[in-house]
Amino acid sequence: MAIRKHLDQQKNVWVIEPSGYLDLFNLPQVKEAFAGTEDKDILFCCEELRYLDSAVIKVMAEAAEACRANGHIFRICCLKSYIYKIIEMVGLQKVFVFECGEETV
């Protein structure tokens, strides 16, 4: 598991790119990645993401709410459909904005 975070200054958006499996074990790294991101839009790029669990989805939802409270958008891109089903199972699919592409939601 790894999480890359950088500010795309041209688009004025935080880009967070997780890879591998995000679960309760690495929740501290997930929380750290979202720290200080509520001041801009967030793009959560899931191209290399293989799994995430409900604890991580909860942290993502909290980050999305903080983002929205400050007038910004939390977008998820390149999400595989089987991972979307996990988000759907916990009932938080309406919290996020999804950008679709091939083999994604």
- 3-class state of residue 67 by DSSP: helix
105 in any annotated domain: no
**Predicted local confidence at residue 103, as pLDDT:** 42
Total Cβ atoms within 10 A of residue 92: 16
48 in any annotated domain: yes
Nearest to 37 by CA among 2, 58, 1, 8: 8
How far CA 83 is from CA of 13, 25, 37, 69, 104, in Å, comes to: 23, 18, 23, 26, 9
Specify the number of domains making up the chain: 1
In which domain, by residue range, is 63 found? 2-99
**Predicted local confidence at residue 100, as pLDDT:** 73
- pLDDT tens, residue by residue, 60-92: 999 999 999 999 999 999 999 999 999 999 898
Mean pLDDT calculated for residue range 52-63: 94
CATH number of the domain encompassing residue 37: 3.30.750.24
